Structure 1
């Protein structure tokens, strides 16, 4: 039995959950609305503000889908109630960021500034010139956009310059030594 899949999910107050015939789970809450298509083999039940996810057999595919489906539904519930956020730090001399409307302007040591437009449903804030906060209700979209920003200038191992997640450890290497 899946350790994650068998756990029930309690629906918080102010959140509405619907399961359509085609296993389309729609979650509506104070921060917005999300929907996810769950595999038709997996059964999603709602009883007394508790969601349970069941699988039809012990096949490897069904076992994998069991935990995945439960996690997707739990992430949607958390997203519409609390939301998700990823914090990024920019480290390096002359590296900075600023927000112009819905466009994120990054100066990362290239010959040109890099402009990134915020995707739908994502809010980006810049509390300082070296910090970026990516917020949204969809966990996957927030993580994906934060990863795209980080990919522009990954932290390098010699000086540690680049864009990194808050709290991320960058393993440093020793430079060349002369004879």
Structure 2
């Protein structure tokens, strides 16, 4: 039988160095990252940890010292690092338009992406564009989704892919649709 002293556990903490080109501030429970590509905000209200911003350093300290608290700390660190990387470099997702019989056309109208003539359907299938700074453009057979927020860019690409989901048919035979094929950093 082994015993462990609870005082022997080390304090869990994560520090993130902020580059000079990015400004990170804290407004209540919201962390804001500003850079050359725009602004990304994330609310950490439900995070069981303390996030402090001092100069060019962000510190995350969880309330406990357990394995779960380490996971929470690493998740928060990853989110803040992706925010910093996003306002500095940006994110790009590429979606390929694939069809066999009916030629699919994709159009961007306001905050929606319309997929027309999918399997010859008369009504267009729509997908919402997430976030204010997310840009969607159609280049031939590709749909390019760009923006500073990884969350918004990836969700927009997923919305576009899910809008052409095929139900009640064998997906190995009916391959028509829009599919994400590349995830890149940089815009």
Range into which the TM-score falls when normalised by the shorter chain: 0.7 to 0.9
Provide the C-alpha distance between the structure 1 equivalents of 2:108 and 2:164, rounded to a whole number of angstroms: 20
C-alpha spacing 1:115/1:160, structure 2 compared with 1 (3 Å) = closer
1:99 aligned partner: 107
Residues 1:49 and 2:64 are matched in the alignment? no
Length-normalised TM-score, structure 1 = 0.74
Provide the C-alpha distance between the structure 1 equivalents of 2:25 and 2:65, rounded to a whole number of angstroms: 27
- What's the RMSD between the two structures over aligned residues? 2.8
Provide the C-alpha distance between the structure 1 equivalents of 2:42 and 2:182, rounded to a whole number of angstroms: 31
Length-normalised TM-score, structure 2 = 0.72
Q: Which deviates the most, 9-18 or 106-115?
A: 106-115
1:127 aligned partner: 139
For the 8 Å contact 1:11–1:51, the answer to whether it is kept is yes
1:12 aligned partner: 19
1:153 aligned partner: 164
C-alpha spacing 1:111/1:159, structure 2 compared with 1 (3 Å) = closer
Give a deviation string over 1:92-111, Cα, whole Å, max 9, x none: 13332343553533221142
1:164 aligned partner: 179
For the 8 Å contact 1:55–1:66, the answer to whether it is kept is yes
- The count of corresponding residues between Structure 1 and Structure 2 is 163
SS at match of 1:166: strand
Residues 1:33 and 2:33 are matched in the alignment? no
- Unmatched segments (≥5 aa) in structure 2: 1-8
Give a deviation string over 1:38-92, Cα, whole Å, max 9, x none: 2464122445523232223224553332122111111111111111121111111
Deviation at 1:145, TM superposition (A): 1.5
Q: Among 109, 112, 119, which residue is 2:119 paired with?
A: 109
C-alpha spacing 1:95/1:67, structure 2 compared with 1 (3 Å) = farther
